[in-house]
Structure 1
């Protein structure tokens, strides 16, 4: 009976996973269809695949937008981690006055939707000459991800016994040496999971990209929207661009899945 229950739970888990993955599967196969085939409802699973859509979108500008997304994602993630990790360490390890208020202020910056602040941001970027620049998108990515880094990394740092920090200091390790050589390796799964989430958020950001860029710094989500025209939706080409867009996150998540799961579950069991 117990074996049958375990098998039923496993089968149910696979069915739920297939249900959630099915829209992604449709997107993947639609990119290999012709436009006429992509418009057929219900979608057909039997067709002759073609690479014409991928060749067309890549040669018509996707390579440039893909490069922009890579630069913005890597730049914003790197600087968000560079600023957020030391701040999270200080809030976790030191007795700071009004630390809870500081934490709440950081998370409160995520409560207001971007659309509510897009007009003043646009005017500020226009006056600073940051419109349609990669630097402007990187700055917005940093501002968007630093609160996430602080909140996530603080919970990971909280799991480190303070005795470990004191022991390193007794052995002669200074504050920065102990932080870099002892503390950071201890929370490496947390660092990987936090950096991966920041990269995904920066990679998928559409509203800031479409509002603050035109052509010189537009990213993949912005390029994908160009296939929504007055004549209709080009489903096959949109699916091809979407497939190219999700591949980096899928590959990165696949190779870091063990560290990601371990990082996201740190502190769940004591």
Structure 2
């Protein structure tokens, strides 16, 4: 029994911890507010592009911009070829074909390579990883002329399969680096148990490793798809009419004659939709996949 006016040990500890807890709550609230501000800042340009795409060219070109201007679908009608303009569908199909096929090729090649570098590690595997990384050190424009001459001499100019090969080679090092860290978290005991049961390498990769590393594979696929879909330099130089991709078609709205801002925003919104749809569909696995290689 304590005398009046004395402070117990528990009361002293609670009195000591209370300011620290309040400070931690204030710090957490400040970081949360900062995250909201940063998110809004990043979203404002995209929302502004969406709003401008529904304005007329005269309203979109006003300075300062007119937020409450009347809405119209004129920009989207021009993009989809209304009034005799060029149809965007061949370019969109070319981009979709090059992005999806190259991503599939990357996964087929990167999965066994990452398996050899993470689970069944080859000799001097760190040197191999550095070699993959060194392939991204050369600027893309530095290899443009040799690739153009090769495509010209082999008759591959304006061919969608040339872009598939290029996108596969460009994204493969990134995919191997990502999947190597993802597959490093796969339990070796499960693989050994499957091998004891007589499973071959192809079976182990497709039925054991792939399901466990599915979030990481989804994250890698999405990133490779985005890089392929957004690529402009190679597609601009190596394609013409038949293999023209969506980013190249998009640049056709930039002109020195007349106003083009609303039409360009409408085209940008449509071209961005496949990437946004893919990211939204794979958002759960993307978050899981990006956290697989984290330090625990």
TM class, shorter-length? over 0.9
Residues 120-131 of structure 1 aligned to structure 2 (within 5 Å): 120-131=146-157
Q: Secondary structure at the match of 1:239?
A: helix
C-alpha displacement at 1:13, in angstroms? Answer: 1.7
C-alpha displacement at 1:232, in angstroms? Answer: 5.8
C-alpha displacement at 1:233, in angstroms? Answer: 5.8
Whole-angstrom distance in 1 between the partners of 2:259 and 2:240? 21
Q: Secondary structure at the match of 1:21?
A: helix
Larger deviation, residues 9-18 vs 204-213 = 9-18
**Contact 2:111–2:176 at 8 Å: present in 1 too?**
yes
**Contact 1:227–1:233 at 8 Å: present in 2 too?**
no
Q: What is the TM-score when the length of structure 2 is the normalising length?
A: 0.87
Whole-angstrom distance in 2 between the partners of 1:232 and 1:202? 31
Q: Secondary structure at the match of 2:194?
A: helix
C-alpha displacement at 1:4, in angstroms? Answer: 4.9
The corresponding residue for 2:15 is none
**Contact 2:113–2:176 at 8 Å: present in 1 too?**
yes
**Contact 2:91–2:244 at 8 Å: present in 1 too?**
yes
C-alpha displacement at 1:223, in angstroms? Answer: 0.9
C-alpha displacement at 1:9, in angstroms? Answer: 3.1
Q: Does 1:155 align with 2:181?
A: yes
Count of aligned pairs: 270
User: 1:232 and 1:152, CA in 2 relative to 1: closer, same or farther beyond 3 A?
Assistant: farther
The corresponding residue for 1:26 is 48
Whole-angstrom distance in 2 between the partners of 1:149 and 1:232? 43
**Contact 1:62–1:241 at 8 Å: present in 2 too?**
no
The corresponding residue for 2:98 is 72
Larger deviation, residues 7-16 vs 251-260 = 7-16
Q: Secondary structure at the match of 2:31?
A: helix
- For the aligned residue pairs, the C-alpha RMSD in angstroms reads 1.5
The corresponding residue for 2:35 is 13
**Contact 1:159–1:267 at 8 Å: present in 2 too?**
yes
Higher relative contact order at CA 8 Å, sep ≥6: structure 1 or structure 2? 1
**Contact 1:89–1:154 at 8 Å: present in 2 too?**
yes
Residues 133-148 of structure 1 aligned to structure 2 (within 5 Å): 133-148=159-174
**Contact 2:158–2:239 at 8 Å: present in 1 too?**
yes
C-alpha displacement at 1:98, in angstroms? Answer: 2.6
Whole-angstrom distance in 2 between the partners of 1:47 and 1:268? 47
The corresponding residue for 1:46 is 68
The corresponding residue for 2:205 is 179
Give unmatched runs, 5+ long, in structure 1: none
The corresponding residue for 1:228 is 254
Corresponding residue to 1:116 among 136, 142, 145: 142
Whole-angstrom distance in 1 between the partners of 2:121 and 2:164? 32
**Contact 2:58–2:259 at 8 Å: present in 1 too?**
no
Residues 85-124 of structure 1 aligned to structure 2 (within 5 Å): 85-124=111-150
TM superposition outliers: structure 1 runs of 4+ over 4 Å = 2-5
Whole-angstrom distance in 2 between the partners of 1:57 and 1:208? 23
Give unmatched runs, 5+ long, in structure 2: 1-21
